[in-house]
Structure 1
């Protein structure tokens, strides 16, 4: 139970810090971007290092980076389908899920994913 309390406190502090950073930056849409994912990732990595060691946290870090790249690829494909192909949102996102899965698992395999 204490792990959740630590995650809550660290995540809350980092969310607040990133929210202040996002408030300073322009456009304001950065505030939401900086608010959630970085704080959760940092709290999770801190707990992983504490409980499982640096090598375990390194594997988690590589997985997070692969997921971020896959999300970026997915986002670009969705935007292209919405803007250039003039598809509706639901079909564009459903088609792009295959792209996301391919990118995520491809990067995971290249990075030496766990067997």
Structure 2
């Protein structure tokens, strides 16, 4: 039952943070920054706060390193998705970029763990 409350707490806390960051995004100019402020930081901060409170510092450090590895993989995905989609089309290009993302994320996680 504690796991259920932990999941509920993560969802509620993450949702509140998403709302706060969305308000920050609405207050900034240009509006294209709204997406940057809306989801990723709020979900990361919410997840990390709940992890710190429920599991401790060691698990928090592991979670943070996992986010770094995922962020590096996302940058690799973004850098190659557009050229791959242009060259091979939407389905093949996106699939290729996703495979690259998975490889970079796996390599990053292997290196840091």
Instruction: Give me the TM-score of the superposition, normalised by structure 1.
Output: 0.82
Deviation at 1:94, TM superposition (A): 0.8
Q: Is 1:105 matched with 2:106?
A: yes
Equivalent residues in 2 for 1:38-77, closer than 5 Å: 38-77=41-80
Greater fraction of residues in helix = 2
Equivalent residues in 2 for 1:1-115, closer than 5 Å: 1-83=4-86, 85=87, 87-111=88-112, 113=113
Distance in 2 (CA, whole Å) between partners of 1:90 and 1:29 is: 26
Distance in 2 (CA, whole Å) between partners of 1:9 and 1:99 is: 33
Deviation at 1:89, TM superposition (A): 1.1
Distance in 1 (CA, whole Å) between partners of 2:25 and 2:35 is: 7
**Structure 1 residue runs without a partner (length 5+):** none
Deviations 1:55-102 (A, max 9, x none): 11100110011101101111110012234x3x3111101111221111
Instruction: Give me the TM-score of the superposition, normalised by structure 2.
Output: 0.84
Farther off after superposition, 32-41 or 90-99? 32-41
The alignment yields a C-alpha RMSD, in angstroms, of 1.7
**Structure 2 residue runs without a partner (length 5+):** none
